[in-house]
Structures are given as C-alpha cells and as structure tokens.
Chain A
C-alpha cells in the first residue's frame, strides 16, 4: 500500500513538468486535473426485513429502522383493477377513491382532519394488480393511524353522496381522457396487447354507468380481506410491537378474498399490425410500439433494464437523441419495460408532428431492429450503468421509499435477495447480454403499433409500413372511406333566435368567478350576436361580435377583442364567397407574446366560425337522440374541425334563472369537449355550459326578451 502510494507520487512528480497543466490560482500539485474515478462499490446494505403472519392471515413485513420516530404502513391486497368484473371496469379504482370517505363514526372531513392534525397522511390507490392503503405518521401517532386504517378497512360506509361525487369526477376524467391522445393511445395499446385479459380492459363510460354503490360495498367486503394481503411496516417499530398493535386493531377482521377465475390468455404474437385511431384534424400523432415480454421473475430483466436505458430510458438515450435532437420531429421519444404479476411488456413511444408520422415510425422501428443486431459500445454501457446503479440508493432513502421497494419485491415474488443484489446484477450485465435480451424482449416484427392521429393525413403512408386497421376514438371500426371529413347539411331554424339579452354566472368549483352576457339584436339585413365574458381570477376578458345572415344564419363576420393570460386577443375575420379573410391574434402563454395568424383560405359551404357555434346551438334542429356533424372553422389555427353534436338526453335542470326542461347536448371534436343544456321549449335558450374535465360551468342567471 505504502509502496504503491510512493510510486504514484514519484510518477506524478516526474510527469508534472511535462504535462504543463494550467493550474489556476494556486499551485495545487495534489489537485487532480480530471474527475476522480469511482471508488469501489460497497455491498448494498439494504435494510433486512422480518416477516410474521398474523392470526387472521395478513403477512406482515417489517423494515425496522429507529433512526427517526416515523412509521409508514402500507397494506396491499390482491384487489387491483384486474379483479374488476367484465363490464364493471373501474370498480377497484372507485373503491379506492371512496375507502377513506366515511365510516359510521367519522365523516370524510373528520378522517382528513384527524390525520392532518398530526401531520400524517392516509390514502388508498388501486393499481393493475394490487389495491394499496397507506399511512405515514410520527411514531407517537401510530395508534391513531392504525385506528383510522382499521376503521376504514372494517367499517367504510361508502356514503351514497360521496359515491355520486366520485362517479361524477370519474366521468369528467373519462371525458377529458377521450380528448387526450396520449391516454387514448395507451388504452388502445393495452387492448391490442392483452385482448380480453384483464390488463387489456379499462374503465369506460358504460362500465362506470354500470357501477352502483352496492358493487363498491361488495368489492370492499369480499376483496379487502386479510388472507393474501401484505402489510409492509417501515420505520420506528419492532416486530413484537407491530404484532401486538396489529392484532389489537385488526381484531375481528378475517377471511380471504375468493380466488379469481382464471384469466383469458392474451393474444398470441402475430405479424406487426398498425391500429390507427382516427382523430380528425389532429396536429400530431401519438405512436406506441411494443409487445408482450417477460414474466415478473424473468432474469432477463437486468439486461433489458440496462439496455432500455441506452435505447430510450431518458434524455441521454438513443431514441431521444435521434428523434428529437437529430431529426427535430418531436419533444420526446422514450422506451420502457413494464413488469406485472402476469405478463409484462416492452413499449416505445413518441408524439410527432402529423407530416412526419411515417418517418418517425420507420426510424423508431429501425432503432429497435438495430438494437437487436448491434452490440452497444462501452461508452453507452458505462453511462447507463452509472445512472442506474448510482441512482438506485436514492430510491431507498426514506422508510416510505424502502416500503415501496419491498412491496414491489413481495408483490412480484422477486425473492428476498433481489434488493440486496440489484446493483451487482446490473453491474454484471455485458453488451452481449443486452443484445440477447433485446432479441427476446423487443420484437418489432411481431409488435403492436398504435397510432392516434389524423387518419386522412397519415393512412396512405402507414399502410406502406404494415397492415392498418382503423377505429374511431370510441373503438368503432372505420373504413378508409370514413376518413374523408364529411359534414351533413344542417338546417338551422332562425326563429329560435329571439332578440334579447341573457346573463350567465361563471362558476369555478361552484363558486362565482365571473360572468358572461349574450345578446341578440335583429336588424332588417342582419342578425348580430354580442357576447362578453369576464373571468377576472384567470385574467380573461373578451368581447365577441358575430354578424349573420338573418335568413340562412350564414356567418358574415366575427370580431373578438379582449385579454387572456396577460396578452391581448384580437380577431377579425369575414366570410364571403366560400373564403375567409382576416387576422387572428390569440394569447400564447408559453411564448410570452400573442400568436398572430393572417387568415386567407377557402372554407366549404355551411362552415361555421368557431365563435358562432355556441350562439347557434339553440337554432339546431335538436331532438332526442339526434346527432349532427358540423364543420367549424377556427381562425386562430386556420383550420376546420368536424364537431360532433349529440343530443345525449333530456332532463329538468335548475339554474338561478329558473327550472327548465332541457336537452343535454354533448359536443366533441374540439380539444376540450363541452356539454350544452338547451331549453326544449321554443324559442330555445342556452341555460348552462359545462367544460368537460374542468371545474368551470356557466349558468343562466337572468334572461330578457324583447
């Protein structure tokens, strides 16, 4: 040791004059001119864990750590969404949302106040496989945490009011997801990969509608059982202490969840196909490519994890560098490997501008194939291992993090040695291992490809890559013919539009935050609609004037002025002879300055301006069950969208202006779906607007007719 040190000093002294480093500020001969090499990796001292089975069958795992007076409890049940009965998808998620929302002795508010009052937390979540209830508190409040945990597990009362609230929130969420191409892509991808296997199913509006409070009660009663459950306790607790407390608080809780019926097999691999989810007018395409891969305990995981980091596991990886930095097609491109209790999968994803959809997909597939044939260079291997091995310890620093890692190990059955040897297993991966793993796990020739985008623009290019099936966002099969936008002729009824003024209040989560007024004025040669909206809290003030032909209701001009997001908006366009001309200035919060579009283009006959849509809803020939497709021109985007207008139902609605029998009119095809409520009695009036997925509603407060 000493000899070696002397030798190296001598060598350094001899070399120094020759090297001639510029050594700034001080002649620090000892300061190394390049980053020091990594010291040897010490064996991972992952906290050992102890296990004990309670008398009621709960398997308790304790990660004992008395450094801080913190206890983290995490109770995991085999009750994730894969146990949702067919046709009732969403049940596990709904149950999780409701579990902490009341018991016979505590309201939802009281549960929240009790746990927050001691600075702790309590929550429930449902994943694909597991249903988890967790709490973290200081040690001296652990009995309160257990009392609340036991109370919700044994006595959750699932009040109907909370059920209704949660269902409404989920409905809004689903509506919002339909307009989110990323979520659409993931849902269709899962369906393509897993078919009728539970991993392929997900909550829909109809499955949500099929759920009742009784289903939730039944699910909780039958599936949240101690038998088969894991309770991971991490932190300041001894095994004896944990056992005593748990036996006491969980007394009277017994039984096991029924064994689930065996799952349908996922589809067998087949030659690569593309599922095109047609979103008319979509400016970008969301692409997902992947295939079913390995089971949870397959040792190929280590090599493919390192490989994935190189291929697409971050901003330092190939997909990102090539698709974003070299080609400039996208903001991001990534790949991932997912483990489940059942079969897992490999996936690569990106979202690209519509015109480069096929180029990006071809390049993505080429990179996957290249990964199966070429050996990765040492520099990439070293950087990937450096990141994965180095960052792992940061993921087990707190008791909650440790509990989460141990939970994964238990739930996937990875074995007690897994966490201890994880870094060594990654370190041992060779470039040849990665290629072998890639050949097994990444299969671009028998892959599922989902592309969500504008079918009309991309179909012809996609069929050159692989066979294409087409569906709409609801999953309904479409033919190539269906991709051509076509809007049916709709005859508006001018008699529904009566001169007068309607006032609306703007509500955010039920609280008034602004107002809107809508006024119709009739002149001998024109019909003028003026709308003013002020939502001060979000900085929106705008005034819109739409001039129409009094007989055909064809739009002649639109002017909009105001301010939003601190920027001025100013739009003025006119329609004449199948052409629209003008200028649209809209806020662009990202850029910091408004976006200006000079508009001069042709529009099909019967096209509405986007600002004219809302005022004309009342003049549509609304009837129960009717559906319309309307071409709507958005000047700011210089583009026409086909909006689908559907009369989804009739009901009686109360707003501040009074009680009205109404049509519920759902509008999709816009980035944000809307629901309009229009009176059934003529002359019809708009009485309420909801923006799906946003806590924003407009309600009629007063109406004056001339």
Chain B
C-alpha cells in the first residue's frame, strides 16, 4: 500500500543505489494470454520450480487518468481496495493471506495500480477469490471512504510534507508538464489535500465503475499452477463480472524545447540547500529509453558514478549526489540532483552539476562506463527474475508499457547494444537548458533558528 517512485526521500536516493529501471527479461519466459468476453486480460506463466504462486492484478489506471480537481484518486482508491468487499470483512484480506502463509501488497503510480499476493501453490484459489471479490463488490461506504481519506492525508504528511526535499521533488516534477496540455503528468500521484477533501463518495463510486471493471484490468498468474484449473477458477470467479464503459484516452501534449524553467523551493525540513535539475524524457516505448537509462547509471548510479566521484568525493561540494530516470507510459523525467555540504551555496552546487551534465554532452562517456552500465542493467534484470512476484511484475510491465508482450524477449538486447555515442546523443538531445527545470531547495529562513 504505497506510492511507487517519487516518495523516496532525496537523501535516501543520494546515499543509495542506482535508479530503478523497469526490469526486463533476458531469456524466454513462457506464457500464454487470453481475454475473457468481459474484457479481462489474462496472462499465465507456469514455473513449477517452487510450489508457490503469485496473483497480480493491474488496473489500467494511475494518476494520469485523474481529472483536474480530483487528483489523488487513483492512490486513494488503492487504499479502498483493502477495506473489504461483499464477502471479505475489513482486515480479513490480510488475515486470510497470513494464515495461508502468504504475503500481499498494493502500489500506485502515474501509470497503473497494482495488487498482488504470493501464496503457497494450493492457495491460488484464495488469491483469485480475494481479487475477484473486490473487483465485483468493493465496499464503497461513506465510512470506509472517510477513513481512508484520512489515512491518505496522513500518508502525505508522513511521506511528503514532513520529509526534507520531498515536496520539491514530488510537486516539482509535475511542473515539467503543462496542466492545460498534459494534466496527466502535471500533478503528483499523491494529489492535493484540497482535492482529497473535495472528493465525495459518489465520485469514488463513479471512479470504481469506470476504472475497476474487468475490461480495464490485467490478471497475471505466475508460478506453480495447473493452467486448466486456473482458467476454470478465473472463469468461475471473474467471468460474470460485467464489462464497464471504455475509459477515455489519456491526452498529453509536450515539447522538449519549452525553454529553461526555474523554481525556488523553501523547505522547512531541509537544513542544507539542494539543487535538482530535471529534464523531460520521451515515453517508455521510445527508442531513446535504453540510452537514457545508461546515461542515468553513468551519471548517478552508485559510488563509482560521475556525480558521486566528482561532487561528493573529489570537490566535496555535495553531501550526496545522484540521478534518477523515471520512464513512463507518457513522457518521463530524467534528473540529476545534489545536496550541498555545509557552507556550500546552491549556486556553486548548480554550477558543478551543470558542469557534469555538460561534460557528458561535450565529451561523451568512456567504453568502461558503457560496459559497467550494460553489466549493471543485465545483472539487475536477471536477479530480478528470480521470484514469481518479480516475474509477474515484468509481465504486467510489458503488457502495459510495450506494444507487445513479446518484447519481453528482445528488450535486454536493446540495452546491451547501446553505444557510447548513443548515450552522448541522448544527452545532447534531452539534457539541454531549453528542456530543463532547475529547482533550488533552500532551507526555510527562520525555521531552524
């Protein structure tokens, strides 16, 4: 029950590992897919090596589907999905899974909402039953809604408003896009307090009817199951849920030469200045995505990255520095950031960050760096295929972010064939002043005196 991406405090990013790319497959994952008459898309991938099974349902709805004045709905909805349904009492979902020896969770981002549970193989029926019950009969009551609205507001306070740098990161990223041309990505996943307050229980029902219908969902099962039995259960549990209306398409217009933007953010929890330079990036299915991923790894992935070496270890202007590439179904964000060391001004920090960006644009990257980025991506990809849970997430990723699920077989090759000149080219294309938003975070005057 959490927000993906942006909610990570910047400090943690600065001190931790490379940015998380969607994980792609190396070898063939055998799967079959079909669609029920009511529109529910089903992907089945058998893996009998361990007697466990993951049930993973993605609803094709994220914050990008929200309307002005109703931001934060997709995530609020994810909370509602754990509040009970016709045959599952509040709190029972977790208890049923626990007593079966399983685990579960849900996550929301701009592009989709995910629900999953990993269970012993003989409890596949429980996972499917729980998912079906809430798809067919979520308990949308005024009481549950109010309850979860408060929980989400609390989550916003805890994870965004009270975290240093988080408001700048969360709200700042949305500023890259214009709220008239592309509201989809011009607001944050967590939404505004005002919108959450304005939401009525009828809005929630309408949102459920439109987006939580079988024709807007993809059910993936990965692990040790009998496909015939799984299909029978899916038919029995999901088959008679009526199809909903087709949700309206997401519209977004954007450009990479809108001119440089600047924003200064006063942060009452930050004690050191920070600088974030964010650039618009193309949608995930664009051919430049692999090179941008490697660019992000080379600039800011780990202790051997350029930003860490140059800003943290050598010049010591930064307490932490890194990069992040957020690739989305719509236009994304690639950013570099640094948190100043004691006594270093935001201007000096920005100057050094820009110098590193310019160095990639002007001089490119070394062969060693390219090899490291490729190795890193390959290892992460393969280590990420070890569990039924991570494989189910990948299948869902390809089902939603790619034109064909079969790209799961070929995607890693694209990343392994990226060259140094590709990386320099994407740096020259996207990491340019006219495509940038520079956010300076300054400690709020007086807050700490």
Contact = CB atoms under 8 A, between A and B. Distances in A.
B449 to A, nearest CB: 7
Interface string B56-100: 000000000000000000000000000000110000000010111
Given A389-B120, A512-B342, A513-B342, A541 B26 contact: no
Given A24-B137, A26-B240, A592-B162, A42 B121 contact: yes
A16 B5 CA distance: 47
B16 interface: no
A386 B443 CA distance: 52
A33 B237 CA distance: 11
A400 to B, nearest CB: 8
Nearest to A27: B240
A656 interface: no
Interface string B280-303: 000000000000000000000010
B424 interface: no
A630 B240 CA distance: 77
A33 B101 contact: no
Given A31-B236, A138-B382, A26 B122 contact: no
Given A39-B123, A119-B375, A541-B449, A536 B271 contact: yes
A160 to B, nearest CB: 25
Interface stretch (B43-51, B166-174, B358-366): B43-51
Given A24-B137, A39-B122, A563-B448, A387 B98 contact: yes
A387 B101 contact: yes
A566 B444 CA distance: 11
B336 interface: no
A396 B224 CA distance: 13
A536 B98 CA distance: 43
Given A35-B129, A592-B162, A22 B86 contact: yes
B385 interface: yes
A537 B269 CA distance: 10
Contacts of A316: 98-99
A500 B412 CA distance: 66
Interface string B248-288: 00000000000000000000110110000000000000000
A117 B50 CA distance: 31
Contacts of A331: none
B308 interface: no
A31 B48 contact: no
Question: Looking at chain A's contact residues, is the secondary structure mostly helix, strand, loop, or mixed?
Answer: loop
A537 B87 contact: no
Interface in B84-142: 86-87, 96, 98-103, 118-126, 129-130, 132-133, 136-137
A486 interface: no
Contacts of A388: 101
A1 interface: no
A36 B103 contact: no
B50 A396 contact: yes
A389 B375 CA distance: 38
Q: By CB atoms of chain B within 10 A, which of A386, A394, A398 has the most?
A: A394
B445 interface: no
Contact of A32 (B51, B129, B272, B380): B129
A259 interface: no
A113 B302 CA distance: 11
Given A32-B129, A38-B122, A536-B272, A117 B136 contact: no
Interface stretch (A61-69, A78-86, A518-526): A61-69
Interface in A582-633: 592
B100 A36 contact: no
B51 A393 contact: yes
Given A38-B123, A394-B103, A119 B376 contact: yes
A679 B269 CA distance: 38
B34 interface: no
A102 interface: no
Interface string B360-386: 000000000000100110111011011
Contacts of A44: 51
A121 to B, nearest CB: 10
B211 to A, nearest CB: 15
A399 interface: yes
A47 interface: yes
Given A24-B136, A537-B271, A537-B342, A31 B237 contact: yes
B101 A389 contact: yes
Nearest to B268: A566
A112 to B, nearest CB: 9
A546 B379 CA distance: 58
Contacts of A38: 100, 122-123, 125-126
A396 B121 CA distance: 13
Contacts of A669: none
A418 interface: no
B242 interface: yes
Instruction: Name the interface size band of chain B.
Output: 35 or more
A166 B378 CA distance: 34
B325 interface: no
B304 interface: yes
B119 A390 contact: yes
Contacts of A541: 448-449
Nearest to A390: B101
Nearest to B126: A35
A568 to B, nearest CB: 10
B387 interface: yes
B272 A537 contact: yes
B98 A36 contact: no
Nearest to B11: A537
A538 B380 CA distance: 32
B388 interface: yes
Contacts of A537: 271-272, 319, 342
B55 interface: no
Contact of A391 (B102, B271, B342, B375): B102
Nearest to B235: A30
Contacts of B102: 390-391, 394
Given A31-B236, A68-B382, A68-B385, A36 B319 contact: no
A617 B162 CA distance: 38
A662 to B, nearest CB: 27
B254 to A, nearest CB: 34
Nearest to A400: B386
B24 to A, nearest CB: 14
A33 B387 CA distance: 31
A445 to B, nearest CB: 33
Nearest to B385: A68
B241 interface: yes
A26 B319 contact: no
A47 B51 CA distance: 11
A444 to B, nearest CB: 29
B13 interface: no
A113 B304 contact: yes
Given A387-B99, A512-B342, A393 B126 contact: no
Nearest to B96: A35
B52 interface: yes
Contacts of B130: 35
B388 A36 contact: no
A383 interface: yes
Contacts of B125: 36, 38-39
B342 A514 contact: yes
B52 A397 contact: yes
Interface of A: 22-28, 30-36, 38-42, 44-45, 47, 65, 67-70, 113, 116-120, 138, 316, 383, 386-394, 396-399, 511-514, 536-539, 541, 563, 566, 592
Given A24-B86, A394-B50, 11 more contacts: A27-B240, A31-B237, A36-B125, A42-B121, A45-B51, A68-B385, A119-B383, A393-B50, A397-B386, A397-B387, A566-B269
Closest 5 CB pairs between A and B?
A390-B101, A119-B379, A391-B101, A24-B137, A536-B271
18 contacts: A22-B86, A26-B240, A26-B241, A31-B237, A32-B129, A39-B122, A42-B121, A45-B48, A47-B49, A69-B26, A70-B383, A388-B101, A391-B120, A394-B120, A397-B388, A536-B443, A539-B164, A539-B269
